[in-house]
Amino acid sequence: MSQSSPKTFWWGVATSAYQIEGAVREDGRGESIWDRFCRVPGAVERGDSGDVACDHYHRYAEDIALMAELDVNAYRFSIAWPRIFPEGRGREEPRGIAFYDRLVDALLEQGIQPFVTLYHWDLPQALEDEGGWRNRHIVDDFARYVDRVSRALGDRVKYWTTHNEPWCIATLGYSNGIHAPGVRDPAAALAAAHHLLLSHGRAVPILRANVPGAKVGIVLNQLWVIPASARAEDAEAARALDGDFNRWYLDPLFRRAYPEDRVAAYRRDGRLPAGPLPFVHAGDFEEISRPIDFLGVNYYTCARVAAGDAPGEIRSLPPEGEPTEMGWEVYPQGLYETLMRITRDYAPTSMLVTENGASYGDGPDENRRVKDQRRIDYLASHIDACERAKRDGAPLDGYFVWSLLDNFEWQCGYRQRFGIVWVDWSTLQRIPKDSAFWYRDRIRRGLGRD
């Protein structure tokens, strides 16, 4: 097994349950909000769903063998809450736990360190029926789920993250409805964000109690925001978006408060009432800001913004250069800046880049080779940015490519391909792309300071 000595740099690949597992009706799994959302006409491109996905639930041994060939020493994956508690709480499903038991054992046999994400968006539908993350009661449900999973796997899994990207869960799920559960209620999204953060804080001591030597963290997605000009209004627009996206989560976790400038803006636009924040109870920030062992950073792109015509309006500008197939600008310097800014402003003890990668559709040629040079360039430039940030003092201890496999890319379905391994959607055959071999060689070279 890989040792977590201070010298270890984690080179990994990342996935999430709903995006790869399939087998949604097997072994007693309950319905998740994504099963439901995928059935809403027009919600997901081409009506795709995670019903089969990469069929990783049955092919996990093959996928771990692929990882072993890449020489990764870490694998970040998520647990599907509806496999453990099909109705969200109460009756538990031993076959769900047994699957993750087998997965963890198979990883450890290959010397690959498991990094578990407890929540990567597939909420049991039964809990959503009670309001999901909008309902404060979910904090207790999450705590019970975390307790159960960490008691089952804590003898072997040391690295735990509570949530993946609370911004996406709250904003895309409850404010603009692009993601499950498809709710459009910006005020409720702020309550959801708070309950996500609170449930994270509630989980921290549970993980420490159940897991000897636990390393506990949370994963935030970060957007590097660039003002369109040196004008004060544009700088203000950039600060506003940075506040919505980055500081709304970083500040409570590391500074025990929501950013004042955004609280004031949300009062002006009616998302928040005057006076105390309705969803914050006494003691919440103490729980939310409990010390963590690492911060996970997901980084893909930057945003270029200018002030709009209406007060407080943020206007986004088109990307510069050739974007990826998601339409996202390729801006590795933003990863460097993000890591340095977090180091400077929030001083986490350790950081991991828990996701970074690019969607390009390059497929197999007649010799079954996938020449995805653009992805190689993307990964190379971003890993260089990590190397520079580490050299300049960022406490960076790992890097995970998103993703091992082409998979179900949420509202975009299977059209967007982030994998370093190609998946043929008719046969489910896996073909490592050129980027997979490149990544293996890059891992072998290591970082300057390994």
- Look up 130 and say whether it is catalytic: no
* Residue 26 designated active-site: no
Q: How far apart are CA 70 and CA 67, in angstroms?
A: 5
125/354 with CB nearer ligand FCB: 354
Structure tokens belonging to residue 48: 């795709």
Shortest distance (Å) from residue 111 CB to ligand FCB = 26
- What is the greatest pairwise CA distance in the chain? 66
Q: Which amino acid is at 83?
A: R
**Which two three-digit tokens encode residue 158?**
């040391």
CB nearer to ligand FCB: give 85 or 418: 418
Looking at the Cβ atoms of 272 and 386, the one nearer to ligand FCB is 386
Q: Which of these is catalytic: 165, 287, 329, 409?
A: 165
In the complex, the smallest distance separating the C-beta of residue 19 from ligand FCB, rounded to whole angstroms, is 6
Q: Say what angle helices 56-70 and 94-109 make with each other, to 10 degrees.
A: 20
Binding mask of the shown chain, residues 8 to 47, with x at each position contacting ligand FCB by CB under 6 A: --------x--x----------------------------
164 binds ligand FCB (CB under 6 A): yes
**CB of residue 6 to ligand FCB, shortest distance in Å:** 28
Question: Contact with ligand FCB (CB under 6 A): which of 150, 175, 221, 301?
Answer: 221
For ligand FCB, which residue of 54, 97, 168, 389 counts as binding (CB under 6 A)?
Answer: 168
Rank residues 285 and 408 by Cβ distance to ligand FCB and give the closer one. Answer: 408
Helix 260-268 to helix 232-242 angle (10° resolution) is 100
Distance between CA atoms of 63 and 202, rounded to whole angstroms?
33
402 binds ligand FCB (CB under 6 A): yes
- Contact residue for ligand FCB among 35, 165, 284, 406 (CB under 6 A): 165
Q: Using CB under 6 A as the criterion, what x/- string covers residues 259-298 for binding ligand FCB?
A: ---------------------------------------x
Which is catalytic among the residues 31, 128, 355, 409?
A: 355
**Number of residues in contact with ligand FCB under rule CB under 6 A:** 12
Residues 350-389 interacting with ligand FCB (rule: CB under 6 A): 355
Q: Which of residues 123-142 bind ligand FCB (CB under 6 A)?
A: none
Q: Which residue has the tokens 């690949």?
A: 13
**Could you tell me the sign of the dihedral formed by the alpha carbons of 61, 22, 167, 88, in that order?**
negative
Identity of the residue, 152 or 219, whose beta carbon is nearer to ligand FCB in the bound complex: 219
Other C-beta atoms lying within 10 Å of the C-beta of residue 95: 12
Residue type, position 424, single letter: D
Residue from 411, 326, 416, 359 nearest 45 by CA? 411
What residues numbered 96-125 form the site for ligand FCB, per CB under 6 A? none
Q: Determine how many CB atoms are found less than 10 A away from the CB of residue 435.
A: 28
Min dist. Cβ of residue 102 to ligand FCB (A):
23
**Does position 418 bind ligand FCB by CB under 6 A?**
yes
- The site map against ligand FCB for 51-90 (x = CB under 6 A) is ----------------------------------------
Strand partners, 116: 77, 160
Is residue 127 within 8 Å of 35, Cβ to Cβ?
no
165 in Cβ contact with 219 (< 8 Å): yes
| Neighbouring C-beta atoms of residue 111, cutoff 10 Å | 13
Query: How far are the Cα atoms of 1, 238, 242, 302 from residue 343, in angstroms, in the given order?
Result: 30, 20, 16, 18
Examine residue 406 and tell whether it contacts ligand FCB (CB under 6 A): no
Element (H or E) spanning 294, and its range? strand 294-307
Pairing of strands 294-307, 351-355: parallel
Interface with ligand FCB includes 48 (CB under 6 A)?
Answer: no
- Contact segment (CB under 6 A) with ligand FCB among 161-169, 230-238, 258-266, 333-341 equals 161-169
* Residue 57 · residue 19 · CB < 8 Å: no
Nearer to ligand FCB, 199 or 301 (CB): 301
Look-up: residue for tokens 């209004």? Answer: 233
Stretch binding ligand FCB (CB under 6 A), from 51-59, 163-171, 309-317, 332-340? 163-171
Active-site annotation, residues: 165, 355
* Contact set with ligand FCB (CB under 6 A): 16, 19, 164-165, 168, 221, 298, 355, 402, 409-410, 418
